[in-house]
Amino acid sequence: MAGLLGVSRAGYYAWARRGPAPSPRAARRQALAEQIAQIHEASNQTSGFRRVLAELRRCGVAASEGLVRALMRDLGIFGVQPRSRKRTTIPAEDEITRPDLLRRDFTADAPGQRLVGDITYLRTS
């Protein structure tokens, strides 16, 4: 086959191994997928498709909601939903505020100099 085409055998097999060039649509989807992955990574893997889409539009990239969703699904990335936290301390109306003796300076020259603790999260009744 290589002789008929007028190319070396190694050159023909290297070309065949590379496969066909990606279509313009596939190349654009690949570039967009890389951008989406970078945006998602920059947000500590918390941004969902809405934030990713907003960031793409801020950068001047035209993409539809469905395309961004599909590419994120293909990449296996998704947004993280914030969870509600249980309130563990309910302050009393007449509670006395304790003075801050350390003035928020918890650094010490040696171990055992500044010991602090908080047990307000333990249920007593």
Domain ranges for the chain: 22-81
Output the six-digit token pair for 27.
Answer: 């190349």
pLDDT of residue 125: 65
Separation in Å, CA 100 to CA 2, 28, 90, 104, 108: 84, 58, 20, 7, 16
Virtual torsion, Cα 34, 40, 42, 44, nearest 10 deg: -140
Query: Which of 37, 42, 72, 36 has the alpha carbon at shortest distance from 54?
Result: 36
What pTM was estimated for this model as a whole? 0.57
- Write out the chain's pLDDT in tens, 125 residues: 677 778 888 988 888 898 888 899 999 999 999 999 999 999 999 999 999 999 999 999 999 999 999 999 999 999 998 888 887 777 777 777 878 888 888 888 999 888 877 776 676 76
User: Which of 104-113's residues contact partners 24+ apart within 8 Å by CB, and which partners?
Assistant: none
**Rounded-to-integer distance, Cα 57 and Cα 59, Å:** 5
User: Which of 64-67's residues contact partners 24+ apart within 8 Å by CB, and which partners?
Assistant: 67/29, 67/32
